[in-house]
């Protein structure tokens, strides 16, 4: 970029050129960085998979803990189921604390184990909750026959 300035009183002029060369990467540096990125791509993917598997296990553990305390469901669990799920959550959290850098497959196996214990209990709880909701309270006068007898009273207010 070329910039010029002129002092109008003295008629003195100065011109400068601004270039963007300072601090830029050279072609060799760019090539080296691209090669390093390719070299570590597989390692990065492995790390990403490990982190995703660990996060999935942690979030499932958190979900189980929250589900047990959910207002609509907490009374649907038997005392034995609450104890089982509480123990399961605590064991999984302790395991996670001690196994921060396991392979993705180890986390996935632990997740399958967790879900295999959690899902049967939740299936029973949701089935029970759904059956109770489906039955619902009976409304009075549901079978009242002819609706023409029951007309609303309308009061006109000015």
* CATH number, domain with residue 92: 1.20.1270.10
Q: Which pLDDT score is estimated for 141? A: 43
Q: What is the pLDDT of residue 147?
A: 52
Alpha carbons within 13 A on the beta-carbon side of 77: 23
Q: Does 100 map to a domain?
A: yes
Q: What is the pLDDT of residue 144?
A: 46
CA angle 66, 69, 73 (to 5 degrees): 105
Distance (Å, whole) CA 132 – CA 113: 30
> How far is the C-alpha of 118 from the C-alpha of 135, rounded, in Å?
26
Q: Does residue 102 belong to any structural domain of this protein?
A: yes
Asked whether residue 14 is assigned to any structural domain, the reply reads no
**Is 103 part of any domain?**
yes
Total count of domains within the chain: 1
Mean pLDDT, the chain cut into blocks of 10 residues (158 residues total): 84 83 82 92 93 95 89 83 92 94 94 92 81 51 49 68
Domain holding 79, by residue range, is 49-128
């Amino acid at each position: 970029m070329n910039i010029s300035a002129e002092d109008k009183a003295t008629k003195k002029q100065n011109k400068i050129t601004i270039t963007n060369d300072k601090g830029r990467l050279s072609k060799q540096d760019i090539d080296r960085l691209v090669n390093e990125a390719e070299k570590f791509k597989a390692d990065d993917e492995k790390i990403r998979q490990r982190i995703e598997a660990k996060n999935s296990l942690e979030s499932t553990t958190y979900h189980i803990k929250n589900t047990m305390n959910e207002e609509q469901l907490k009374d649907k669990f038997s005392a034995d189921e609450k104890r089982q799920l509480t123990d399961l959550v605590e064991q999984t959290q302790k395991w996670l604390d001690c196994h921060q850098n396991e392979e993705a497959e180890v986390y996935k196996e632990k997740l399958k184990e967790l879900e295999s214990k959690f899902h049967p209990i939740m299936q029973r709880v949701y089935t029970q909750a759904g059956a109770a909701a489906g039955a619902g309270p009976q409304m009075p006068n549901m079978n009242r026959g002819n609706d023409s007898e029951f007309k609303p009273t309308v009061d006109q207010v000015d």
